[in-house]
Structures are given as C-alpha cells and as structure tokens.
Amino acid sequence: MTHDTRTAWRKTLAQLALAMGAALALGFAMDRLWPALAIAAVAILLWHYWKLRQVLSRLTARQRVAPPDGGGIWNVLDRLLYRSQDELRGRNRRLVEMLRAYRAIATALPDGVVLVDRNSQRIQWFNEAATALLGLQHPRDHGAPLGERLQPLPIAHWLSGGRYAEPLLDVASPARLELRLSLRLIPYSEELWLLVARDVSKLMRLEQMRRDFVANVSHELRTPLTVVHGYLDMLDPAEQPEWAPMLTEMQRQSQRMTQLVEDLLTLSRLEAQDALPEEHVAMAPLLTTLEREARALSKQRHTVSIEDTAGVDLWGSVKELHSAFSNLVSNAIRYTPAGGRIAIRFERDADDGATLSVEDTGYGIPASHLPRITERFYRVSTSRSRESGGTGLGLSIVKHVLNLHQARLDIDSEVGRGSRFSCHFGRERVRSRTLDDFEAAHAVDSRRP
C-alpha cells in the first residue's frame, strides 16, 4: 500500500468517525440516538454512492477527464484507475502501431503472402503481391477456400502435409501461366499458416539456359574427343618407348574427359525430362547384373556380397534405375581400399515400400559434406576423386533418377568406417515379382563359376 493510499484511508476513517460522533452528539441532545445514527449511516452511504458514480462515469467516458486532486479514498482510487487505464491505452496504441507497421511491411514484400486458417484452409488475409502472383482479389477471396481459389494447383493435397509439406519449387501461376512460382508453407501458429509465393521465372530461365549450354557444349565436345581418342589408340608405345608414359597419360585423360562428357549429357537429359518410361523392373536379374559389374570393377580386390530379401520388383525405367544403381556400386568400389567389403541389399520397408542399399567399408564422408554431396562436381577430396577417376556427377545422376521415380536417397556415413547409400521407393513403385524373374535369376546363378 502506497503512502497516498494510507493517507486517504486515514482521512476517510477520520471523516466516518467525525460523522458518527456528530450523529451521537445530536442523538444525545435530542434524546433520539438510533434515529440519528440511522440518518448518519444513510447519509454516508449516499455520499459514497455519489463518489462511486463519479468514478464510474469518468471510467466509461469516451474522453477521459482527469480526476480531482483531493486526498479522499475515492480520489486516490480514481487517480489509480485513471493511471492504469491510461497505461493500458498507451500499450494498445503501441500494439496497433506495431500491427500497422507489420502489415505495411507484409504489403510491401515482393513475395506473395497469404494467411490461411489451419483447420478450414480458408484465406484470412493476403498482401498485394498475392494478387499479382496468385490472382487473389480483395474482398472476394477473403474467407474463401485456398485450394478452390488456386486451381489447378494441387494445393489441397499439399496443405494436408502441414509443417512437413515440401516446398513446391516450380509451379505455374494461376494468374499468369508464363510466371513460375516457388510455394512454401510456414507454420505461423497453432491455428494459422503462412503461404509464401515467390516469382522464380527469371531463375528458371537462367537455369534452363545453363542446362542448354552444358548440353550443347557436351554434345559438341563428344566428336573431337572421339577423334582424339581414336588417334591415341592408333599410336603404339612400343615403337617409341620414350613416349610411352606420355601416351598412357594422354589416353587416361582422354578417357576421363569422354566419361565426363557422357555424364554431363546424361544429367542434361534427365533434367529435361518430367517423367520416365514406366516399365516392370525385374530386380532379380538386375541385382545379378550389379553384382557382376561390381566384381569386374573390383578385380578381386574387395569382397562383394548381395542380399535380396524383398521378394518384389519395381515399377519405373529399367535403363535409368540400372544407371543409378551402377553409379552407387562403382562409387563404393572406387572409394573403398583393397580388402574392403561391398554389400548390396534389396529389402522391404516398414511402409510397404522397398529399399536398395549399397554399403561399403571405405573412407567415409565427413558429416559437414553430406548436405552437398549430391551437387554436381562437388568433391569431398579432390585429389582422391581424381586418382579414382570419378567425374563428380555420379550422385547427381542418382538423385535426378530417384526424383523422377518419386524416391529418395539417404546417406549414412562415418569417417574411417564406411558409407551406406539407400534408395527408398514408395509402395506405389513396388510390384509383385513374377515366376519368370525367379527362373531368370536362378538360370544366371547356375551359370556362375
């Protein structure tokens, strides 16, 4: 209790005591004690009621009037309420100013911002950029279902992923088909989401120009490299022994350059495709082929094993899946020292999908490099990659092939202990294995030495 409040209480008690003393004196003088006390009590109540009415009228007035400066308890209470109300109004003004500033910032953003109700998936608010990028209009689309307003984009299915929804990196704008958008869903609160739409048309054009450039250059390099490689094969080091080291190095580098061009052309072809041929991929003979290729590449320097416990096949492109799996196997051979082990496994997943994994006991990959390991030309160790003959494009090819099959690549690695590359395919990519596949695999097994 503050000093002013204590003083006000004392003054109020003194006034009450004075009033009661006057009533007692008057009662004794008139020989009517109880009527005098009753009148005094009623008078005190009326006076307090009148002061309460004054406080309430000042609290409810649109224009606040400063309370009086008196020292009574009601004046102190009035001043405390006035100060609290004034502070509350000040906080409210600051909050309103902050909200206006945030809304002005959101309105000025070049990206489209849409506030969406999480439960009903209805539009609560959007900025001006959302009108240009997504075609939303004020006030027509306020409260409208987002999926209905952004047709033909697959928004309803995408929103069902919630905080786990992957960004849509390249979709056509519902407002202008020539615009390419990147859509990202951000959990804003327990009840609201933020949909952020960004114009990536220029970025997509630059990316397409880069792809075309790489594809054209790679195509143009193929012919001269073939000519150079052919002439080098015609030269016999035995006729000029002093040239033998140089010819050997030239042949090795020309072969490496040819492989690099072929990988670039493969990657450019994959990037230009939206879908691949849908075929029944017989896994039993494919796994046998992978094992045979691994043994040939290893030249008995490694222990190669294969396990097929899935008992199913896949649905996709035989050629591209073989290319992706071969890249993983060749990488495992390349980056595993002699005496190491290479294990190829094909097994079922808990979600009725299937996984093909390639595990080695090689050098391993530091954790800091794992996020970028599938980027083209990214190398963990430049010197080791050059010694092994790698182009730096193998994992990029694997990633693109898996993306076209709606599959994913998981990488687990530990330096000095080896790596495990796992290709996870969803249940929609799994097919029952036919009897012909078992017979074909058994026939191949029986021909092994």
CATH number for 149: 3.30.450.20
Q: Report the domain count for the chain.
A: 4
358: which 2 tokens?
Answer: 């390639």
CATH number for 258: 1.10.287
Q: Are residues 184 and 252 in the same domain?
A: no
Q: CA 305 → CA 117, 358, 436, distances in Å?
A: 53, 10, 23
Q: Are residues 99 and 118 in the same domain?
A: no
Q: Are residues 434 and 293 in the same domain?
A: yes
User: Domain residues for 88?
Assistant: 3-103
The Cα–Cα gap between 223 and 261 comes to: 10
Q: Are residues 261 and 380 in the same domain?
A: no
Q: How many CB atoms lie within 10 A of CB 314?
A: 26
The Cα–Cα gap between 427 and 314 comes to: 9
Q: Which of 153, 172, 199 is the last residue of a domain?
A: 199
**Dihedral sign (CA 162, 426, 318, 375):** positive
Q: At what angle do helices 3-30 and 33-60 cross, to 10 degrees?
A: 150
In DSSP terms, 355 is beta-bridged to 347, 424
Q: Are residues 151 and 259 in the same domain?
A: no
Per-residue confidence (pLDDT) for residue 1, from 0 to 100:
47
Q: Do residues 353 and 429 lie in contact, with contact meaning Cβ atoms separated by under 8 Å? A: yes
Per-residue confidence (pLDDT) for residue 445, from 0 to 100:
45
Q: Are residues 350 and 290 in the same domain?
A: yes
Q: Which of 140, 171, 199 is the last residue of a domain?
A: 199
Q: Strand 303-308 vs strand 341-348: parallel, antiparallel, or unpaired?
A: parallel
Residue 185 parent element (H or E): strand 180-187
Residue in the block written with tokens 């690099």: 260
Residue in the block written with tokens 């006057």: 22
The Cα–Cα gap between 131 and 112 comes to: 8
Q: Are residues 23 and 142 in the same domain?
A: no
Q: What is the pLDDT along the chain (449 residues), one digit of tens a residue?
A: 455 545 555 565 555 566 556 655 655 555 555 565 566 666 666 666 566 666 666 666 666 666 666 666 666 666 777 777 778 878 888 888 888 887 787 777 888 888 888 888 888 888 888 888 888 888 888 888 888 888 887 777 777 766 667 777 788 888 887 888 888 888 877 788 888 888 888 888 877 777 777 777 777 777 787 888 787 877 777 777 787 888 888 888 887 787 777 777 777 777 777 777 788 999 999 999 999 999 998 888 999 999 999 889 999 999 889 989 998 999 899 889 988 999 999 999 888 899 999 999 988 888 888 888 887 777 776 555 555 556 677 888 888 889 888 899 999 998 888 999 999 998 899 998 865 554 544 444 444 43
Q: Are residues 287 and 430 in the same domain?
A: yes
Q: Are residues 293 and 381 in the same domain?
A: yes
Q: Which of 182, 199, 216 is the last residue of a domain?
A: 199
Amino acid occupying residue 310? A
The Cα–Cα gap between 104 and 120 comes to: 26
Q: Are residues 17 and 163 in the same domain?
A: no
From the list 386, 380, 379, 373, the residue with the least C-alpha distance to 256 is 386
Tell me how far the alpha carbon of residue 220 is from its chain's centroid: 39
pTM: 0.56
The Cα–Cα gap between 330 and 360 comes to: 11
Q: Are residues 171 and 232 in the same domain?
A: no
Beta strands in 213-311 (DSSP E): 279-281, 303-308
The Cα–Cα gap between 356 and 425 comes to: 8
Q: CA 253 → CA 155, 173, 259, distances in Å?
A: 50, 47, 10
The Cα–Cα gap between 291 and 283 comes to: 12
From the list 162, 171, 172, the residue with the least C-alpha distance to 195 is 162
407: which 2 tokens?
Answer: 């599959």
Give the dihedral of Cα atoms 242, 243, 246, 249; nearest 10 deg.
-110
Amino acid occupying residue 147? G
* Number of residues that this document lists for the chain: 449
